[in-house]
A and B are shown apart, each in its own frame.
Chain A
Amino acid sequence: MDGKQPCIQLHRVSVVFSDEVAGLRDVSLRIERGEFIYLCGQTGSGKSTLLKVLTREVAHTSGKALIDGRDLAEVKPTDVHLLRREMGIVPQDFALLPNRRVWENVGYALRAIGKTRKEVRHRVPEILEQVNILHRADAYPAELSGGEQQRVAIGRAMISSPPLLIADEPTANLDLEHSMGIMELLRNLNAKGTTVIVATHDMPIVERFPARVIKMEFGRVYRPDDEERGDA
């Protein structure tokens, strides 16, 4: 990774909810631009909290968190939406609108970030093509398989062509075949230069598509290899 600029740097980041409850404890890590990262750990290990810190859904209580050199603590609440346009977020439950067709789901997100109808007409086919779901553009989410729904969710996350894609358990509700398809898609996006962070506890997938793994346990980063580097 030498020679590349870091995309994400966390230095002793903690998220403390109360005296006894902490989401993250002294997490330090470094993710380079263009990397593919697995964030692994059991439920409650802090994966989701870490992702929420990156998306500014949760504010860290101590430490320093930087994305592209920008200190997240200094991002004003009124500017959080601008930060989120620099990243694509794929939630665990797909979060598709059931009463809108595939193209409308993507179009709605484009409209929400201020794109005109003309831009929507132009961009939606491109995005759906990118995630290989253009052939189902007129289908409703209920008519799609889990893998296809996940493709739509990934497509929606890519509407701003963000340099960073964060996917929370993208294969959690999918069978192996669909999981493989989604992972292929994420790897392709990564190959085109997008930094990808995948939170997962699906170890067979991790083994099948090897990449750097950041393991989390009890709100801390656990990975001997990463510790040797000075940070994760």
Chain B
Amino acid sequence: MLDRVEFLISEAWSSLRRNVWMTFAAVTTVAMALYILGSLGFVYTFISGHLSKLNQDFKLSVFLVDGLDEEQMQASEAAILAIPGVTSVDFVSKDQAFLTFQEANPDIPLDDFKNDNPFPDSYEVQLEGIEKAAKIAESIEEMEVIDEVRDASDLRRLLVQSQSILRLLGVVTGGLMLLTGGVLIYNTIVLTIYARRKELSIMKLVGAARSSISGPLIIEGAVQGAIGGLLAALLLSLTLQSVDAMARSLNALGGIEPTSTKTLVLILTLCGAFYGMICSIWAVKRQVERA
């Protein structure tokens, strides 16, 4: 058994060495395709996570006009709470808002504003979901004591649009690259079949099993795909580490979820090997009989 595997692998290896440049082209194209797909997939997942968090944790910031008395405050709070879809209403005083801002931005000098606090009193209105947000915001805004209502629907819209664009980009760019990589693997195998037509015809003459004839060619395709996947994984891992470092230094989005290089290598190498195998099976099925 081991002897058999050794024969198949040594045949595949000699084929790989025979078409070095074609193999190089196929491997790099598959690597780029998987890198693009991996990157877009990662950004897509990242945005999806944020969207779902935004949906679950959707709040309206409701700013009150100045000079309200206690009775007006209580009445407005009760009126907002009575709107269907509102789960809770938390009062944030102007002093509290000032403190929160000061804590979040310690570098900004705010001493001049200590006696003239520009923040208004406000409510943090928690909703059941994002669907009715616009309608609820409209109802609240109609109240006389309300100055302004702000929500994150613009951000959400932006994220949804980005997600759609990424999906399209992933399908078009990644798909095209993957197709090109596949065609290159196919061509490499066809070239191998052409270069080895004498060996293949001898194999057929002496009664070699189909697995002996096709096996090395399929292994060759799988190896090309696997190397492409490995390169893509390493490149993607480096990119993610750089983006994470950049995001943390800018304090943007709180950094990114780390994905281990091992996991990336495992997933992309397996995907590449599987894809390479499929492409070479396609080539073998079409070409070996003719060789």
Q: Which residues of A approach B to under 8 Å, CB–CB? A: 78, 81-86, 89, 91, 95, 97, 108-109, 111-114, 116-117, 156-157, 159-160
**Nearest A-chain residue to B6, judged by Cβ:** A117
Q: Is the CB of B208 within 8 A of A112?
A: yes
Nearest B residue to A57, CB-CB: B204
For chain B, residues 114 to 172, give those with C-beta under 8 angstroms from any C-beta of chain A. Answer: none
Determine the distance from Cα of A95 to Cα of B196 in the docked complex, in whole angstroms.
Answer: 12
Contact partners of A81 in chain B: CB under 8 A: 204, 207-210
Complex Cα distance A68/B269, Å? 50
Set of chain A residues within 8 Å of B213, measured between Cβ atoms: 112
Q: Are A159 and B205 in contact (CB under 8 A)?
A: no
B201 at the interface (CB under 8 A from A): yes
Q: Given that A97-B199, A116-B3 are known contacts, is A89 also in contact with B208, CB under 8 Å in the complex?
A: no
Report whether B209 and A95 are in contact in the complex, using a CB–CB cutoff of 8 Å.
Answer: no
B206 at the interface (CB under 8 A from A): yes
CB distance from B152 to the nearest CB of A (A): 63
Residue of B with least CB distance to A98: B198
Can you name the residue of chain B whose Cβ is closest to the Cβ of A156? B206
Q: Is the CB of A112 within 8 A of B198?
A: no
Determine if B212 and A97 form an interchain contact, defined as CB atoms under 8 angstroms apart.
Answer: no
Given contacts A82-B207, A85-B206, A116-B3, contact A108 B212 (CB under 8 A): no
The distance from the CB of A158 to the nearest CB of chain B, in whole angstroms, is 10
Q: Which of A83, A95, A157, A159 has the most CB of B within 10 A?
A: A95
Q: Check B206 against A113 for contact (C-beta < 8 Å).
A: yes
Contact check, A108 vs B199: say whether CB atoms are below 8 A apart: yes
**Residues of B contacting A114 in the complex (Cβ-Cβ under 8 angstroms):** 4, 208-209, 212
- What count of chain B residues pass the 8 Å CB interface test? 17
Known: A111-B7, A114-B4, A116-B3. A159 touches B206 (CB 8 A): yes
Inside 8 A of A109's CB, which chain B residues have their CB? 202-203, 206
Interface positions of B from 1 to 51, Cβ below 8 Å from A? 3-4, 7
Q: How far is the CB of B135 from chain A (nearest CB, A)?
A: 67
The answer to whether A97 and B206 have CB atoms under 8 Å apart is no
A contact residues around B212 at 8 Å (CB): 112-114
B7 to chain A, nearest CB (A): 5
Q: Nearest Cβ in chain A — how far from B197, in angstroms?
A: 10
In whole angstroms, what is the CA distance A65 to B202 when docked? 24
Q: Is the Cβ of B202 less than 8 Å from the Cβ of A112?
A: yes
Question: Please, what's the 1-or-0 string for B191-232, where 1 marks a CB less than 8 Å from any CB in chain A?
Answer: 000000011011111111110110000000000000000000
Q: Report B-chain residues with C-beta under 8 Å of the C-beta of A97.
A: 198-199, 202
Contact A113 B210 (CB under 8 A): no
Does B3 lie within 8 Å of A95, measured CB to CB? no
Set A86, A89, A116: member contacting B205, Cβ < 8 A: A89
Q: Are B201 and A160 in contact (CB under 8 A)?
A: no
10 A-B contacts, Cβ less than 8 Å apart? A81-B209, A81-B210, A84-B205, A84-B207, A85-B206, A95-B198, A95-B201, A114-B209, A114-B212, A117-B3
Excluding A112-B208, A112-B212, 15 further A-B contacts by CB distance (< 8 Å) are A81-B204, A81-B208, A83-B207, A89-B205, A89-B206, A97-B202, A109-B206, A111-B7, A113-B207, A113-B208, A114-B4, A114-B208, A117-B3, A156-B206, A157-B205
Nearest-Cβ distance from residue A34 to partner chain B, whole angstroms: 22
- Nearest 10 A-B pairs (CB), nearest first? A84-B207, A85-B207, A112-B208, A116-B3, A81-B207, A109-B206, A112-B203, A89-B205, A111-B7, A81-B209
